[in-house]
Structure 1
Amino acid sequence: MQHLTLAALSAATLTVGTAGAETLKMSTIEPSLGQAITMATFANVVNSNQDAVEIEVAGGGAATVHQLEAARGNLDMWMTSPTIYTFQKNGTAMYANEAEAPALAENLRLLMWFPYGDYHYAVRGSSDIEYLDDIEGATVFLGPAGGGAFNAAKGWIEATTGLVAGEDYEAITANWATGFQAFQDGKIDMYVNGCIDPCQQFLQFTETESIRFIGPEDHTGEAVDKYLGNFRYITELATNMYKNQLNDGPIVSNDTPVGIGVRAGLDEEAVYQVTKAFWDNIGSISSDAPWAKALSVEFAVESRADMVLHPGAERYYREVGALK
């Protein structure tokens, strides 16, 4: 089969498929991020293992915008989440000024959920910051300002430590590439990235530098419970994941589900073949994509935010016993 390289994923558009196949348009977030790599790898596996459908992947942009475009019929597949689906369905947050958003949400269906990836709160090995509670006065990158990752990291820090971005520490304004470069150059004290290990950014950084992942001194309490809500959950970062990782024990962190959404109007048989081609061949990518071990059909079909599975996907999951 064909395998995706980081260079291929960083291209504006990736097309791998068979001439004459039905083309489905998928949009992902920033191509260097783990979630985009997961989705592009999904497309590669599907395209390599059946001939009826070709998934064409375009990288870049915001998942919240992609979802609205899919609801309008301009995209076939995109990265969703329980949170942004709920926002659109209720016409709140970034969809508050989109009067048609709740009605358009009826055009959205789910193919699968997968973990966004543990949030990694990273400092240099030489840093005197040992816990998130120690970042008062520090300069950090939480993600692009205003985005979902930024708000998730900001919320976790505030819920567990009481520290507020912009008041107790500086959260720099930068995109993903610039934020990571700032960490590499030693211009910021902490870099945050949510991803399924092994993450490309930390593999790259630890080739030449030591790193330590940090968590809060205490991850319990009413504020944490409120932050986690119905969709987020507690995770642990393991030791010895990366060369030059200095942690001597597991680190408590946070994670959330994201998913691959599909237009409700897509042909049932096409979505069935796409779903089947991926899950029946996921084992073929484990050596090139060890993070694929974090994906499972059980996680994929969990009920979240009342987002309905596409009938084609549901058919496959019932065949393999993931749904009763």
Structure 2
Amino acid sequence: MRKPLVAALFALVIAGAGAAPAVAAPEPTAAVQTSAAVKSAAGTKTSAAPTLQAVDFAGTVSLSNCSGSVIRFPNSADTAPALVLSNGHCLETGFPEPGEVIVNQASSRTFGLLNSAGTRVATLRANKVVYATMTDTDASIYQLTTTYAAIKSAYGISALTVQDTHPTAGTAITVASGYWKRLYSCNVDGFAYRLKEGDWTWKDSLRYTSACQTIGGTSGSPVIDNATGKVVAVNNTGNEDGGTCTENNPCEVDASGNVTVREGINYAQETYQIPACFTTANVLNLSASGCTLPKP
């Protein structure tokens, strides 16, 4: 999980797409960071700007230390309070403990809403953390003080829809970082039965091909299917130094307990299981049929 970039300043590590919970990064001064600037700020290698398809920054957001996106579910009503998706390790209150699940916790966090070009066009505010955990997955979902319809009317920006079916290996994807205003394109390489990093363990994690060299600050970025434009995962960690199952160096564990380390490879947590846990009014219902998210 790349720790929020504030931590990255001290550890030069994780932030949105690599080991240990994403670390927040210092606020970028330009809409697009050069490789040199990113390298200096995050202390990690970066790849050349990827070749992009139709995916852009519309609907993504920047947090103080991470990335995120305004999301909706297939059946969300336009009049429902809008939601923001990021990582559990990006919470302003710090990393949730293993086994901890946060539900309906008051929050006044703000998010910078980006348009398709990556320009900040508005500041959105939360009134609560609807759901957050680092157990089985690494996700946080904030409820905003405004609706999808209001955002669309004021800024012409629609929320990203979360796909409600399991992603497929080989799919072309883009990781869209609102923090860095940077896009990373690659493919779904496959899935890790268990991904273990420090004290945390995640189930059925999505593994990128090597082209997605995400860095600190990209934690919480939506992983978007290039063909459909839907969110299939939330970017959260990567193995930075070849370490085994330590913070910033997650390892894969198969069903038989065999451990595999893939240095330089980054991961995301799937999001297809989330829609079943929300009503059309975006009310969380962890007891709903088909909802498999960890419960408090």
TM-score, length-normalised on structure 1? Answer: 0.26
* Structure (1 or 2) with the larger CA radius of gyration: 1
**Greater percentage in helix:** 1
The alignment's TM-score, normalised by the length of structure 2, stands at: 0.28
